[in-house]
């Protein structure tokens, strides 16, 4: 249902124009009133698409949404209260969008590479509403992220060390990856990375089970991994000995500095000893978990392969 048209406001506006400009007559203004109050022609939408997706079997739902139904419902249970409280923000003057549909729109956007225009057509929404839903649900999930992305406790760190057997004391692997973006704000050249495309840097720490235990994102693509690390919260905590025991270490690639809590490989200058080459081999072998985790993340949520950095996406 559309919002009621405020005729009093329209006539007050027209009266102000008439009073300020003696050249206008009432007869000049009257013809434009129907245009002001008429609705824009409605755009055809797909009927029943939301119900179709919700009623998909488990295999098809996971194929399209990249989550199984149980995970989707668990996520809905976490965010539902926050989506209900802001339905007016999402729905504007139109019928409010139920929390389940809001989350489904967000998951569909993140899991596929289709545009907001396409999603609006499928889910029988306006593009502006889809835009509001995506931004709002993303904000809610981000605010709740610390509940799920947590640094491992003492017991869990001991378990992780038992899995990384080639180098002692390893409790995780750190790496950065580029999230491709299009149309950076102001065409800022700082987003252009060494691979010659625009991106933001995502830094993650993962464990032996490919679980993300720490995440930091936002630096432009031109920033070096070492610079991103130095400006991330985990760096300050590590330097202050708040999250590492004396024998705890992270593994990193050659872009990272040597720290008592961070072990990169020996730089290959062509003169490495057999012992150093063997150490690098073991480190690269253990580092595969972070590359696999990033690959799974981008493979599951395909929007991370290229995010339109504009409100018109």
Residues 121 and 168 in one domain: no
Residue 2 lies in a domain: no
Q: List, for residues 254-277, the tens digit of each pLDDT value.
A: 999 999 999 999 999 889 999 999
Half-sphere exposure of 272 (CA within 13 A, CB side): 14
Residues 200 and 255 in one domain: yes
Q: List, for residues 47-80, the tens digit of each pLDDT value.
A: 899 999 999 999 999 999 999 999 999 999 999 9
With a cut of 90, say whether residue 187 has pLDDT above it. Answer: no
- Which residues span the domain enclosing 139? 49-146
With a cut of 80, say whether residue 143 has pLDDT above it. Answer: yes
Entry pTM: 0.82
CA–CA separation, 214 and 205 (whole Å): 5
CA–CA separation, 63 and 73 (whole Å): 16
Residue 22 lies in a domain: yes
Bridge-based pairing state of the strands 212-220 and 170-182: unpaired
Residues 303 and 154 in one domain: yes
CA–CA separation, 56 and 67 (whole Å): 12
Residues 73 and 134 in one domain: yes
CA distances to 37, 163, 215, 228 from 176, in Å: 53, 22, 10, 9
Number of domains in the chain: 3
Residue 198 contacts residue 187 (beta carbons within 8 Å): no
Q: List, for residues 207-259, the tens digit of each pLDDT value.
A: 999 999 999 999 999 999 999 999 999 999 999 999 999 899 999 999 999 99
Residues 121 and 69 in one domain: yes
Residues 120 and 256 in one domain: no
> Can you tell me which residue has the tokens 């709002």?
136
How much helix, strand and coil, in percent to the nearest 5, is found in the chain? 50, 15, 35
Residues 117 and 202 in one domain: no
Calculate the average pLDDT of the chain. Answer: 87
Residue 175 contacts residue 252 (beta carbons within 8 Å): yes
């Amino acid at each position: 249902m559309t919002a009621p048209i405020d005729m009093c406001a329209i006539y007050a506006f027209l009266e102000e124009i008439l009073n300020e400009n003696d050249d206008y007559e009432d007869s000049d203004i009257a013809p434009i009133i129907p245009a002001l109050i008429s609705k824009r022609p409605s755009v055809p939408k797909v009927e029943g698409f939301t119900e179709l997706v919700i009623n998909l079997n488990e295999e098809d739902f996971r194929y399209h949404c990249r989550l199984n139904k149980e995970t989707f419902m668990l996520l809905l249970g976490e965010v539902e209260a926050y989506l209900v409280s802001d339905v007016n923000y999402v729905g504007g003057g139109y019928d409010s969008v139920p929390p389940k549909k809001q989350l489904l729109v967000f998951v569909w956007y993140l899991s596929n590479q289709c545009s907001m225009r396409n999603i609006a057509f499928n889910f029988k929404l306006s593009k502006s509403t889809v835009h509001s839903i995506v931004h709002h649900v993303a904000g809610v999930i981000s605010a709740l992220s610390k509940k799920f992305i947590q640094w491992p406790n003492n017991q869990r760190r001991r378990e992780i060390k038992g899995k990384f057997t080639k180098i002692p004391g390893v409790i995780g692997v750190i790496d950065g990856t580029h999230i491709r973006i299009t149309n950076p704000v102001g065409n800022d050249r700082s987003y252009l990375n060494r691979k010659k495309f625009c991106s933001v840097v995502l830094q993650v720490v993962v464990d032996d089970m490919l679980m993300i235990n720490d995440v930091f994102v936002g630096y432009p693509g031109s920033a070096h991994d070492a610079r991103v690390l130095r400006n991330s919260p985990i760096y300050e905590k590590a330097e202050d000995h708040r999250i590492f025991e004396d024998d705890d270490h992270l593994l990193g690639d050659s872009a990272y500095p040597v720290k008592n809590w961070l072990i990169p490989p020996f730089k290959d200058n062509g003169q490495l000893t057999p012992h150093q080459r063997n150490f690098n081999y073991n480190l690269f072998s253990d580092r595969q978990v972070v590359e696999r985790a990033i690959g799974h993340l981008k493979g599951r949520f395909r929007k991370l392969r290229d995010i339109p950095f504009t409100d018109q996406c």
